């Protein structure tokens, strides 16, 4: 299935049915009075998050979603039937915004989360609502209200705890294959990863986290080189970024330090918030370095890059260092969750100060 992570749709809720002015005309009841019923409500349009869907491809080709109108009221106190609602099932992680105003309408982050996108119109009132002691034969009735209508932009941002960042062929796909059951394409040419891939990394039976791999970023992406910044949005929800670097490029003309700095600069250009996220350095393919020089080469690289945060040297192909990396990630995420819970608990405590 083709991976689609953006779409624009037009939603039109149903119009409410009109009320009606009618009077009872029955034998032996000469003064039957008003009997006009109300119109039915128009159908509304809802979005529901579904974890079994992972692409917006259905909405790329079906752009207009229109709910039915409510039925008009009828005589003999008969009310019009309300129209059925339309439910649009979308992937978990979908952000819905109004395409005209940019206002966020919904952020679907939980399975079965339901959000109203367009409300159906209310049905009109029949003339039976307008009778009174001074108005025995009212002829007033109201029309049904129109339903809401909007152009909506759908944008899928995958939900993952950890995101992989790096140049093409840095070994990101190989790493996610090594530590999870995900099986993205792996080959010895650039841009083998054409869309985000998610993998669940199980540290032990009851501890796991989700890792996301996105297509490689290259220098000049801000100007449209390579796949550009299109997939960087999928790292927006992550809590930790792993900057994967090929420490032993086959092309001797390639400078890993320059490439690493270029990635950081592209990240900063794209989003300052994403740039400030916790980020660890992962030096991959150490198995291609002479064993007696690995530590020296890695130290030199870290010093040249000016890296001061956490770093790891691994080989995704052989698995060396991968276990230690996943355990460190799990501990970091658990510590972050604990800190967040403590902050929430402090916020919820009542203020007893005078």
Decide which of 117, 133, 156 is a domain's last residue.
156
Q: Is residue 297 part of a domain?
A: yes
What is the mean predicted confidence (pLDDT) over 180-189? 62
**pLDDT mean across residues, the chain:** 86
Q: Is residue 279 part of a domain?
A: yes
Q: Is 284 annotated as a binding residue?
A: yes
Residue 35 and residue 179 share a domain? no
Predicted confidence at residue 351, as pLDDT, reads: 57
Q: Which range has highest mean pLDDT (30-34, 182-186, 338-342)?
A: 30-34
Among candidate residues 242, 235, 277, 228, the one with its CA nearest the CA of residue 166: 242
Q: Is 317 annotated as a binding residue?
A: yes
Q: Is residue 331 part of a domain?
A: yes
Q: Is residue 351 part of a domain?
A: no
Range with the poorest average pLDDT among 1-15, 65-79, 221-235, 284-298 = 221-235
Domain that holds residue 45: 6-156
CATH code at 80? 2.70.210.12
Among candidate residues 335, 282, 348, 345, the one with its CA nearest the CA of residue 312: 282
Q: Is 127 annotated as a binding residue?
A: no
Residue 266 and residue 140 share a domain? no
Q: Is 194 annotated as a binding residue?
A: yes
CATH code at 299? 3.40.50.300
Whole-number Å distance between alpha carbons of 121 and 68: 10
Range with the poorest average pLDDT among 218-227, 276-285, 295-304, 305-314 = 218-227
Whole-number Å distance between alpha carbons of 257 and 342: 39
Residue 169 and residue 129 share a domain? no
Mind listing the pLDDT tens digit for each residue in 205-233?
A: 888 999 988 876 655 544 554 454 567 77
Decide which of 156, 177, 194 is a domain's last residue.
156
Range with the poorest average pLDDT among 69-73, 195-199, 205-209 = 195-199
Q: Is 286 annotated as a binding residue?
A: yes
Mind listing the pLDDT tens digit for each residue in 40-57?
A: 999 999 999 998 888 888
Q: Is residue 1 part of a domain?
A: no
Q: Is 169 annotated as a binding residue?
A: yes
Q: Is 195 annotated as a binding residue?
A: yes
**The tokens of 116 are what?**
């109203």
Q: 291: phi > 0 → left, psi -120 to 50 → alpha, else beta; which?
A: alpha
Number of domains making up the chain: 2
Cα dihedral across residues 243, 248, 251, 253: positive or negative: positive
Among candidate residues 243, 262, 279, the one with its CA nearest the CA of residue 164: 243
The confidence band for 190, taking pLDDT boundaries of 50, 70 and 90, is very low
Q: Is 214 annotated as a binding residue?
A: yes
Whole-number Å distance between alpha carbons of 31 and 36: 15
Q: Is residue 19 part of a domain?
A: yes
Q: Is 204 annotated as a binding residue?
A: no
Decide which of 156, 185, 209 is a domain's last residue.
156
């Amino acid at each position: 299935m083709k991976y689609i992570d953006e779409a624009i749709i037009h939603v039109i809720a149903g119009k409410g049915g009109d009320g009606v002015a009618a009077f009872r005309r029955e034998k032996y009841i000469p003064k039957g009075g008003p009997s006009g019923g109300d119109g039915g409500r128009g159908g509304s349009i809802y979005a529901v998050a579904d974890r079994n869907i992972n692409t917006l491809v259905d909405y790329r080709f079906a752009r207009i979603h229109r709910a039915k109108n409510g039925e008009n009221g009828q005589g003999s106190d008969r009310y019009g039937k309300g129209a059925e609602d339309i439910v649009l099932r979308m992937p978990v992680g979908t952000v819905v915004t109004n395409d005209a105003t940019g206002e966020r309408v919904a952020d679907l982050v939980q399975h079965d989360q339901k959000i109203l996108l367009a409300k159906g119109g209310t049905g009109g009132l029949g003339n039976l609502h307008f009778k009174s002691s001074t108005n025995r034969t009212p002829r007033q009735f109201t029309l049904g209200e129109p339903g809401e209508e909007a152009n909506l932009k759908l944008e899928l941002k995958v939900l993952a705890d950890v995101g992989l960042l790096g140049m093409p062929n840095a070994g990101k796909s190989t790493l996610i294959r090594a530590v999870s059951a995900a099986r993205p394409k792996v080959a010895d040419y650039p841009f083998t990863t054409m869309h985000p891939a998610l993998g669940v990394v199980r540290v032990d039976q009851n501890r796991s986290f989700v890792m996301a791999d996105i297509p490689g970023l290259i220098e000049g992406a801000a100007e449209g080189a390579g796949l550009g910044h299109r997939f960087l949005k999928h790292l927006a929800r992550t809590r930790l970024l792993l900057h994967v670097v090929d420490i032993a490029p086959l092309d001797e003309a390639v400078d890993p330090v320059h490439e690493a700095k270029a990635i950081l600069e592209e990240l900063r250009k794209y989003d300052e918030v994403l740039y400030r996220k916790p980020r660890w350095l992962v030096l991959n393919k150490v198995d291609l370095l002479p064993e007696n020089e690995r530590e020296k080469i890695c130290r030199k690289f870290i010093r040249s890059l000016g890296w001061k945060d956490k770093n790891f040297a691994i080989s995704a192909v052989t698995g060396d260092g991968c276990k230690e990396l996943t355990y460190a990630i799990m501990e970091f995420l658990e510590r972050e969750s604990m800190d967040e819970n403590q902050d929430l608990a402090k916020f919820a405590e009542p203020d007893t100060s005078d």
